[in-house]
Amino acid sequence: MNFIKCRKLTPCIQNLKLSRLFSSQKTDKKGIVLGVYSEKSDEENKITLTPSAQKFNDLSQGKLLKNLKFIEPEIKAGKSFVFWGLHEEYQAVAVTGLGKEHTDFDTLELIDTRKESIRVAAAAGCNALKSVGIKNISIESLEDAESAAEGSLLGTWKFQEYKTKKDEFPKVELFKENKSDNEKWERGVIKATAQNIARKLADTPSNLLTPTIFSEQVMEICNSLDISIEIHDQTWAKQENMNAFLSVAKGSIEQPKFLELTYSKGDKKSPYVLIGKGVTFDAGGISIKPSASMDHMRADMGGAASVTATLYAIAKLKLPVNLKVLIPLVENMPSGGALKPGDVITAKNGKTICVDNTDAEGRLILADALCYSAKFKPKWVLDIATLTGAMMVAVGSGATGVFSNSDTLYKILQDASTITGDRVWRFPLWKHYLNQIAKNDAYDLNNIGQGRGGGSCTAAAFLKEFVPENTEWLHLDMAGVMGPQPDTSMPYLGKGMTGRPTRTLIEFIAAQAKS
C-alpha cells in the first residue's frame, strides 16, 4: 500500500489508518528515520532532503518526495511524519524535520543549534515509529551521527523499572553509512547510555536506593570496566575525621557510605577529581521540608548519579586520563539522634561549622569530600550537587550554575556545554558572600548565609573554604536541571529526572583528554 494512492483522505487521517493497519499485523516490522530541511520564506517553502534521504528517495523511485507534497509545505523542526509502503525492507518511513539547513552558532543562546536540532529530530522520528509499533529502527546520521545517537537513545528511554507490564524499548541502530559515522554513533550511544544511567539512578525510589544499595548499584555499573571501587564505611569516616559528613547521617537508620572510584589510564600525572553529592533522600532533617513534592528528594543524589555515569562513559570511551570519583552517601532524616539547628561540628580540615539549618546538608558532606581530595594532589576538583533551591529560582531548568576560581576551566566547561546543548552559566565567588557565612564570634563558619538572597552564592562561598589549597576548582549547582523535566526545552527528555548535565561533564573531560 502506498501513501500517495489515497488522495481523498487528509495525510493525518491516512497516516492514522495505515498505522493501525500495519500495527495490527504481527510481522517483525522495520522502520527508518530520514531527515529533511525546510525553510519558509515570503517567496517559497523550500524542502531539502539530507544526502541519505535523497539516496533513499532515489531507491524508492521518487516516492518519498512525492509523498511529502501531501503534507504541510513546511516540515517544522522536531516534527515527524510516518509513511508506509515506500520500501520493501523498511515498511515504515519517518521523515523528521531538522529546521534550516545552514544554522550558525547562536552567541546569545550559547548553543550549537545544529547539533541540538539533530537530537530533537532524531528523538521525534524514533518516537513516531515507536508509537506505531515499530520495534526495529534504523536512523540515518542526519549529518551528525553522534548527535543522532544521543537524541535516539535519550528520546526512546523512560523510567519504568517498577511497572508490572513494561513497554518494550525499540532497537535503534545507525543506517548503513561510512566508518566515520559508525565511530561517531558509538560515542553518542555511550554518552546517551551514561545519561540514562543517571536518569535511572535519580528516579529510583529512596527505599530502593539507600546508601548501601547505591554502592551495590555502582559496583554493578562499573563491574566490567577498568575501574577500582572502594566502599568506605562509618568507621573509616570516623578515622578520617569526617565529622561534617557523619553529622548528616545521624538522623537515619541507614548507614552512610563513602565511595572512592579510580580510573587510571593517563600518564603519571595528578588525577582529575569529581565529587558528587549523594543524599539518597533529603527530608531536611530537623529543619524538615514541606511535604509538597518532597518525593522529588529521591533525586537529591543527582550529583552522585551524574559523576557515576560520567565515569562509566570515560571508561567505555577509554579516554587517556586519570580520574578519581568521590561520592559521600547519606540520608538526611529527622529523629531523636539527628543533627539539631545550632549544633557546632568540626570538619576534616579542622574548621568549625554552626549548623543553623539542617536542610543545608549537602555542603556539609561535600566539605569533607573536598578536604579528602587533597590527598591525591589533584589537577583540578569539580563537585556537583543539587545544592540550593535558590539556583532553581535563578535560572530554572535553563542551565547548571557554576562557580569557579579558574577562568580557563570554566571556558572549557562552557565550550563543552555548547556542544552538548546542556548549558552552564557562571556565578560570582565574591568575598561579599563569604562575609555572610564567616563573620562569626564563636565559630568559623555558618552553614547558611546571614543576608537576604544569594543562597547559591553563599553555599559556594562555604564550599570554597574546604577546597585544597592552590587547586583549580569548579562547583556545579544542578538543582534547577535535576527534574522532573519541567518544560519542553529538551523535548528528547521525557517525564522524570533528567540525568543532566552528564553529557557536559563527559565532553568537559574528553576535551582535556584530547589536549
| Residues annotated as catalytic (active site), given as ranges | 289, 363
Reading the block at residue 175, the C-alpha cell is 543506517
Q: What does the CA dihedral 161, 165, 170, 171 come to, rounded to 10 degrees? A: 70
How distant, in Å, are the alpha carbons of 56, 64, 89, 365, 386 from that of 59? 5, 9, 11, 60, 51
H/E stretch holding 411 reads helix 407-420
- Asked whether 345 and 352 are in contact (CB, 8 A), the reply is yes
3-state secondary structure 183-207: HHHHHHHHHHHHHHHHHHHHHCCHH
Kindly report the backbone phi and psi dihedral angles of residue 3, in degrees, each rounded to the nearest multiple of 5, phi listed first.
-55, -40
Q: CA 80 to CA 243: how far, in whole Å?
A: 55
Find the DSSP H helices in 264-348: 302-317
Give me the residue label for grid cell 531527515.
35
Q: CA 371 to CA 348: how far, in whole Å?
A: 6
- Asked whether 177 and 216 are in contact (CB, 8 A), the reply is no
CA angle 456, 279, 379 (to 5 degrees): 65
Buried b (16+ CB within 10 A) or exposed e, 189-199: bbbbbbbbbbb
- Which residues, other chains included, contact 150 with Cβ-Cβ below 8 Å and sequence gap of 6+? 119, 122, 188, 191, 192, 492, 503
